[in-house]
A and B are shown apart, each in its own frame.
Chain A
Amino acid sequence: MSGTAFDFQDVAYAYRAHRALDGVSFSVQLGERVALLGANGSGKSTLLRMMDALCFASGGMATALGAPLSEKAFEDEAANFAFRRRVGLVFQNPDVQLFNPTVLDELAFGPLQLGWDKAKVKAAIEATLQRFNIAHLRDRPPHRLSGGEKKRVAIASVIITEPDVLLLDEPTAALDPKSRAELVAFLAHGLGEGRTVVIATHDLDIIEDVAERTIVLQEGKVAADGRTLDILHDIDLLRQTHLVFEHHHSHGQGHGHDHPHGLHGHIHRG
């Protein structure tokens, strides 16, 4: 698959007086896997919502799949429909995403809104329940699920429509270690070839597995854009963007040492 999935040039966005995005420029090619890396408040979630046409740039130029990402363009029902068929967003908070009374209804929601016929919807539900190993949850109300189960159902409810572009906002947030490891394995190997994936995260431990390219955001601006491994080895950049911090370890008997530390573990200088 070739072509441009997203092209953002000098994009800006503000929540009243607060500038969430300021002069952001980058492009993502179809089939590429990109991580949006940044500390809290760096603009990752706003950028992801903009990429899913849930909010629109107040300055600059943004396009998705060759069409402009603007309020006016999305007033056109056909353009809106075509975009929603191809782009899916998994929200950070599964309680926001899972608004249906049962897991089965949750999976059915997207395909039904996109006009699939009921036989096709039912077949897709069965396949997705098996694929995500959530068949036992089919009649459960989402609010009764554990955090890991909610996240799996949230991703399944988006993947079921087989979008060309998958956007994920902090997919590993608030997951226990086992659920987190399973999710990372799925993101790394279970999404299939050729799908464009953009993952917003501040979890340094997962990006090497899930994205070959990383865009680092800081205070609404692009601080760096490059190969994930290069970004992970640039300790000064990570420290400057508040993604690692100096940490003192004590190893008993009074021995200790300082070194950079990420959210879940040590960052060793390349």
Chain B
Amino acid sequence: MDDPAYGVCTCRGKKRRGLVETLVFGLIGAENHSLEAETTSGLQGVLQGFDPRIKVVALLTLIIAAVSTQRLTVLAMMFALATGLAVISKIRIVRLFRQVWLGVLVFSGIIVLPAVFIVPGEAIAHLPVVGWAITLQGVRSAAFVIGRAETAATLSLLLVLTTPWPHVLKALSSLGVPAAVVAVLGMTYRYIFVLMQSALQMAEARQSRLIGPLDGPARRALMMTMIGTLLSKTLALGSDVHAAMVARGYRGEVRLLDDFRTKPADWVFLLAALGIAATIIGARL
């Protein structure tokens, strides 16, 4: 009965995840990330207590300051500030490492790796075998890119992890972002879960009927079928949602209820962020 014809997996050793299993695990992981984000935004941390509008402006200002700095030491201080904000907002460093730092390091690292060799300057080491020179200026350039990306990503994630997504949307709306953009962002977030649920159910239904490993073409065909079905469901859902909006008086312009209140602490945080940015940009630090 070990014959694949009978549908029994004949693989040995560490079991490889199939396409459907990978998809199922990925969807469950995405759902879990979202649940965790909703949980952290409800914690009694420092950033969680600020008015979302102030938080959006202040964190955006700090991001601009971080990407504008000309000195690695200042960039390191901005990164330390972002990490400190995470700590006092009860965001676990392990989580930041797994969710942001590692991914950004790998992604931006691959992009800037050639710069270490290409940028002309003082050679500080040579690669064995090929003998390529690693330049000080190249390493500095790479460190700037990676440092800016890590700091900006950390500050952005802090906004999402310490603010319920609906409040981020309301804050954007009250800061003058067009209602249509806010509505699209809101509905994308809202319906991504409905579609994820749908994709998960399709993947599980398929998984429950699979009795053996699929070969490459069959896996690709399965993926294409699932994408097509999901797209068609998306179109039907989109049309129904529009009808539901029209039924409740929607005439092309979304109106939102905005009931935020600012406190003195919000203004202190905003002024501090503006002060840091003004110093870095003004003094060309």
Judged by a CB distance under 8 angstroms, whether A59 is at the interface is no
A105 close to B256 (CB less than 8 A): yes
- Given the complex, which residues of A lie within 8 Å of B250, measured CB to CB? 113
- Given the complex, which residues of A lie within 8 Å of B249, measured CB to CB? 81, 84-85, 110, 113-114, 161
Considering the chains assembled together, what is the distance between the CA atoms of A110 and B240 in angstroms?
16
B contacts with A, residue count (CB < 8 A)? 29
With A108-B257, A141-B190, A142-B190 already in contact, the answer to whether A99 and B245 are too (CB < 8 A) is yes
- Given the complex, which residues of A lie within 8 Å of B187, measured CB to CB? 99
- Given the complex, which residues of A lie within 8 Å of B255, measured CB to CB? 112-113
B193 close to A54 (CB less than 8 A): no
Interface hub of A49, A81, A100, A161 (most chain B Cβ within 10 A): A100
* Majority-rule SS of B interface residues: helix
Considering the chains assembled together, what is the distance between the CA atoms of A110 and B247 in angstroms?
9
Residues of B178-222 contacting chain A, CB below 8 A: 186-187, 189-191, 193-194
A80 close to B251 (CB less than 8 A): yes
Question: Chain B: which residue is nearest A93 at the CB level?
Answer: B240
Considering the chains assembled together, what is the distance between the CA atoms of A200 and B160 in angstroms?
42
Residue-wise interface mask of A (88-121) relative to B, using a CB-CB cutoff of 8 A (1 in contact, 0 not): 1101010111011110110011101110001001
From A81, A89, A101, B247 is in contact (CB under 8 Å) with: A89
Judged by a CB distance under 8 angstroms, whether A52 is at the interface is yes
A101 close to B248 (CB less than 8 A): no
A143 close to B193 (CB less than 8 A): yes
A139 close to B164 (CB less than 8 A): yes
Considering the chains assembled together, what is the distance between the CA atoms of A141 and B245 in angstroms?
17
Question: Chain A: which residue is nearest B187 at the CB level?
Answer: A99
B246 close to A95 (CB less than 8 A): no
Residue-wise interface mask of B (237-270) relative to A, using a CB-CB cutoff of 8 A (1 in contact, 0 not): 1001101111111110011110100000000000
B244 close to A102 (CB less than 8 A): no
Considering the chains assembled together, what is the distance between the CA atoms of A77 and B248 in angstroms?
14
Judged by a CB distance under 8 angstroms, whether B29 is at the interface is no
B190 close to A91 (CB less than 8 A): no
Considering the chains assembled together, what is the distance between the CA atoms of A89 and B245 in angstroms?
10
Judged by a CB distance under 8 angstroms, whether B103 is at the interface is no
Judged by a CB distance under 8 angstroms, whether B114 is at the interface is no
- Given the complex, which residues of B lie within 8 Å of A88, measured CB to CB? 247-248
Judged by a CB distance under 8 angstroms, whether A158 is at the interface is yes
Judged by a CB distance under 8 angstroms, whether B20 is at the interface is no
From B169, B240, B248, A84 is in contact (CB under 8 Å) with: B248
From A54, A93, A108, B246 is in contact (CB under 8 Å) with: A54
Judged by a CB distance under 8 angstroms, whether A157 is at the interface is yes
- Given the complex, which residues of B lie within 8 Å of A49, measured CB to CB? 243
- Given the complex, which residues of B lie within 8 Å of A141, measured CB to CB? 38, 165-166, 190
CB distance from A133 to the nearest CB of B (A): 21
CB distance from B276 to the nearest CB of A (A): 31
From B166, B237, B247, A52 is in contact (CB under 8 Å) with: B247
Considering the chains assembled together, what is the distance between the CA atoms of A241 and B217 in angstroms?
47
Considering the chains assembled together, what is the distance between the CA atoms of A214 and B180 in angstroms?
42
Considering the chains assembled together, what is the distance between the CA atoms of A114 and B253 in angstroms?
11
A97 close to B244 (CB less than 8 A): yes
Considering the chains assembled together, what is the distance between the CA atoms of A49 and B243 in angstroms?
9
Judged by a CB distance under 8 angstroms, whether A242 is at the interface is no
With A54-B246, A99-B190, A102-B166 already in contact, the answer to whether A121 and B257 are too (CB < 8 A) is yes
Considering the chains assembled together, what is the distance between the CA atoms of A157 and B38 in angstroms?
23
CB distance from A210 to the nearest CB of B (A): 21
The residues of B with any CB-CB pair to A shorter than 8 Å are 38, 164-166, 169, 186-187, 189-191, 193-194, 237, 240-241, 243-251, 254-257, 259
Q: List the 7 closest A-B pairs by CB distance, nearest first.
A: A101-B166, A113-B249, A112-B255, A110-B248, A108-B257, A96-B240, A143-B193
Given contacts A88-B248, A91-B243, 5 further A-B contacts (CB under 8 A): A52-B247, A99-B244, A101-B166, A104-B257, A105-B166
Listed by A's residue number, 5 A-B pairs whose Cβ atoms lie within 8 Å are A77-B251, A91-B247, A96-B243, A96-B244, A105-B257
